[in-house]
Chain A
């Protein structure tokens, strides 16, 4: 069974640019979660999608947005990149409501210069 896949694995962007990160969940999982792991700041919750709807949002500005497609894959978009957006972005998937387990991808390392 394929795990959670994220793409790209690494990318470098310039301040002010826009970036799109992608996540494909495990087959059968309908919920997708996005987390930001910046150096020294732990795991910060960004967004949760289930069945195409945004279920919950963390304390991030509106320039962080996303969506979930009918096949349950998801995109995270970040506009007007700032240096402090440099981080590892992790995606996880689960069955609805997630309480029985979450599987994480290997992440996308974003560097903003």
Chain B
């Protein structure tokens, strides 16, 4: 079965510092990987995806993620965090025999303090 793991429930970072939100995956076959962000009482907003091609993927709001096949990781990064980046971040995957259904991590609460 496909799965993703987000090892940190919370990440705290100062505004202006770089941020990383970690994600590892387990997928049979080629993975399709996604990052979504959720603000309080809202739906999920798409940030970026990896399907194939360059390992460094650039997305919305200055976020990027690096696909690392050897480490089965897809960490979300941003060079300079903003207070407005504070939200709940979800990593997700689909692929293999269950291509279509999205499997989500537990989510990581990012707090950027001024």
A residues near B, CB below 8 A?
4, 6, 31, 33, 35, 42-43, 45, 48, 50, 55-56, 88, 90, 92, 94, 96-107, 109
Contact = CB atoms under 8 A, between A and B. Distances in A.
A98 B100 contact: yes
Given A42-B104, A42-B107, A99-B51, A109 B98 contact: no
Contacts of A96: 100
Main secondary structure of the interface of A (DSSP, over half): strand
A99 B99 contact: yes
A112 to B, nearest CB: 17
B46 A90 contact: no
Given A42-B106, A43-B90, A99 B100 contact: yes
A98 B103 CA distance: 12
Given A33-B101, A56-B98, A56-B101, A103 B46 contact: yes
Contacts of A56: 98, 100-101
Given A48-B100, A102-B102, A104-B36, 14 more contacts: A4-B43, A33-B102, A42-B104, A45-B104, A50-B100, A97-B100, A98-B100, A98-B102, A99-B95, A99-B100, A100-B51, A101-B34, A106-B43, A109-B41
Nearest to B102: A102
Contacts of B49: 100-101
Given A33-B101, A48-B100, A102 B46 contact: yes
